Amino acid sequence: MEDPKMQVYKDEQVVVIKDKYPKARHHWLVLPWTSISSLKAVTKEHLELLKHMHAVGEKVIADVAGSSKLRFRLGYHAIPSMSLLHLHVISQDFDSPCLKNKKHWNSFNTEYFLESQAVIEMVQEAGRVTVQDGMPELLKLPLRCHECQKLLPSIPQLKEHLRKHWPK
């Protein structure tokens, strides 16, 4: 978080860093300076921060990849791999040598990936984030293309298939 070489953007509330193991051409993490352990710790008092994190994610997309035809998603892992609240901002090409296994793929392409706007709405309505049971099982689902829903037997075959969906 503190390493200036990894920082893409920072303000008084958040810092945006490049993901250490990016799963796509563009993969950033928006982290609040305030230490929040996870989505489970989020309450209504964090609502404005969540909205700010989302807005900053959108700003980074516009600033860094604005001229690109790539699509992006912003969201949180239901069960995060690191213990600080962080918003993923990820391009939908999934063109990365760090995308190596089914767990990586399914963590961004199933309901395991909670859309940022849905999280904001959940906190607005319920005052907290609730994660459904059975989330770890989603990581074991078959590999399915997020664009055309085709099932692929392996990560190498999925990656080859994804090329045909990339913007020309």
- 24-43 core/surface letters (b: 16 or more CB in 10 A; e: else): bbbbbbbbbeeebebbeebe
Which of 46, 77, 86, 88 does the annotation list as catalytic?
A: 86
Q: Which two tokens stand for residue 52?
A: 């700010």
Q: Are strands 143-144 and 113-115 parallel, antiparallel or unpaired?
A: unpaired
- Identify whether 86 is a catalytic site residue: yes
Give the bridge partners for 90, in sequence order: 27, 73
Q: What is the C-alpha separation between 39 and 131, in angstroms, rounded?
A: 9
* Cβ count near 85 (within 10 Å): 24
SS3 36: coil
Active site residues: 86
